[in-house]
Structure 1
Amino acid sequence: MAQNCRTKLNILVTGTPGMGKTTMSSLLADAAQLRHINVGDVVKEKNFYDGWDENLECHFINENQVCTP
C-alpha cells in the first residue's frame, strides 16, 4: 500500500455563488498559512465545465476533469 506523503489537508469550501466563499477562504488560508486555490478560476482557465447555469450565473463544473491528476 502506498504511503500518503501529504503533510497538509485539503479544505474544500462550497456553496451558492456570490456568498463570499473566495473572500472567506482567502482569509482563512492566510491566517493558517495555507495555499489558496480558487477552483472556479481553474475550471475557467482549463475549460473544465459542461455548460452554464443561467439562473445561478455560473458554470456546471465537470468534477471528473477537476479531480483527475
Structure 2
Amino acid sequence: MAQNRRTKSNILVTGTPGMGKTAMSSLLADAAQLRHINVGDVVKENLYDGWDENLECHFVNEDLVCTH
C-alpha cells in the first residue's frame, strides 16, 4: 500500500485574538510557498463537539481536525 508522505512541515501559530496571527501567517505562507489554513474556519465546518457559553467558542474536536 502506497503512503502519502508530506514533504513540508505543519506550522501552527497560536496567540491572543486580534494580534495579527492570520495576517502574519498568510504572508509567511506566501513567502515560503506553503498553503495557509485558518483552523478556526475549518473547525466551523462542523469539526467541533459543542459550544462554550463562557468563552464563546467551539470545543475543537482535534481528532476530526487532524483527519480532515
Q: State whether TM-score is above 0.5.
A: yes
Gaps of 5+ in 2: none
Tell me the SS of whatever aligns to 2:63. helix
Mapped pair 1:39 → 2:36: no
Task: Structure 1: give runs of 5+ residues left out of the alignment.
Answer: none
Which has the higher relative contact order, 1 or 2, with Cα contacts under 8 A spaced 6 or more apart? 1
How many matched pairs? Answer: 67
Note if 1:18 corresponds to 2:15.
no
Letter in 1 for 2:57: C
Amino-acid identity (%): 88
User: Are 1:29 and 2:29 matched, yes or no?
Assistant: yes
* TM-score of the two chains, using structure 1 as the length reference: 0.73
Q: Does 1:63 align with 2:53?
A: no
The Cα offsets for residues 9-67 of structure 1, whole Å up to 9 and x where unpaired, read as 1111122333221111101101111110111111112x111233345433221111111
